[in-house]
Chains A and B, each alone.
Chain A
């Protein structure tokens, strides 16, 4: 079943068409990565899907057009983890994760027992139970990101949107976060749409890649189809070699100068 279908999605910001007639679908349980150079419109496309920016065209979630859903209904289907979440330092991890239950709590009401149970489950799944009473400003960057992920999980939404989940993390933590997302996807049956900066990691974790350039979808498919030297050279303006490394998928390596020797080049 299609979890997310984008049809002619366009976003105009300040007179510039940032996302241009994007058409794509994400199957239930699939992980799709939006890749593309800086300013390609990846993040804006993600924000449009979450309903945070005005757009033309259609966003359908499990068949329902987003315009027919209230903000709260959308928040029960889609959870967003922004690239740089605003962290209120003086509240605790437990209080923060509980905010993920907001779409289920009435306007002036309080959380039910079920809401607390969902937040507890998210804390446990991300190994944050012992952090419950810690203030957010005492956490490390990686721990904060886990807290934000836990908040998104507490939202109990079947679709998870991740904006650059590995930005500003070292290589080990990048792997940990992506493995974590992948295991959550398996255990909770989540559908994941993420923007990704690192092409190699995108190819390793996502089922399919969508390459955007200047707001337009220019290539879509598996890592093998999209992570090719001509496509990356054309759209990133980068000189790269793509190495088919057994066990690692397709590794995109920047190449200095025009001469590429030694590596098994894939053209």
Chain B
């Protein structure tokens, strides 16, 4: 990082924080603090929803995912447009018409107070842990890049976000997220432009795509139905639909974003914008990863992108084994490059049988190269002092490593700013949503019912600081959660199914009442924990399992145990 990069980084971050505070200086009550006075236009709602969903992991791990596993991850988002249609027809009109501040307020109107409290507690527990991971994920990478302790970068990100979320509320979050998304889009566009221009002269986009496809990185759609394959079109459309419905329909960090719309129409259009833009955006992020992969076909990549893990092996007793692997790696890379040049030549002048022949040679060369990396990974794992904590997948480090090594100064500062901004967007929404639930669903409902607007405003600020600090404290211990991406997903899957089931019953099965849904939710949550503990299924399926369980059990309870209560 040069002075130019630091200047770009500090200017972008400070500018956005100050802009957020300036835009929200007229907060007068909890409606304006949590929902920006329900005054935002559709494009601001849409970009805010996108910024909340896109955490730092999206921009760091996204290209890395494509680099290592290809573009099949995009199928995960295919259920999103379908979820948007259901949300626009059922969820948004119900929330808007009842003028609720939180989604869980609706549950008391529909069922009773205890169902509302149960759902709020589930949400607060899930969101605080997930947010801690969202703070920790970029901080561990930034600590590597900036050579600062992880604890310090965790506190830095946490305190930066808390400061402007506390002072500005939802309007600061939405206003800054709007600018954040613009910065993020331009930064990623700039990175894409730079990567493409780093390819050897004369290599066109189509040739780059042929190389990428031949080496298995353009495996975008898979029509095979396989329950053990995480990303197929079917798991994306069905599993993805349930997951996105739970996330956008019942998680206050998202509901709080689209309720800032000035009307049902503005909220709907904001979500529809997300339905149109999300998949192409993910496609471009993953495409960036495949372009970096193509670039590294001509330019030798580092043996391991996670420099910290590599240093451990370089300074260990297995140093000679590492040196042998490194020598072999260089030979394999040169051989692969020869095969690559022959393949490119055949693409330009050869017949189809020759292209197929050269492609097969290139694939074999790539397999040998990958095997070398697998051996290095095993060596790292063997030498790690605590194999449980070894970060053997270095995909999270790939993109930032590339940025630091090859992009021009200024762009580096901007990309690092994107990491901060993406993290700030999702964490600020989460802190704002946890504070809104604490104030509206607990404090205002059970503790001080008739306080003044200014009283609730100050209590809201207090709860934002409280939840922000709780998340930072959790984040300091997040290293013990293991793999972060998996931790976020599996944690969400433990609770989302039950919460979605409660809302589905609320909207679609009018005959079911409070007691039936309350006990069904407790029974379902218990069964989900048992299912997760004994590994009955992959964690993504827990969302479907939990939602269906709540619907079926509440129906059963209503028709049997609580049958009399309807008649009375």
Partners in one complex: no
A residues neighboring B (CB under 8 Å): none
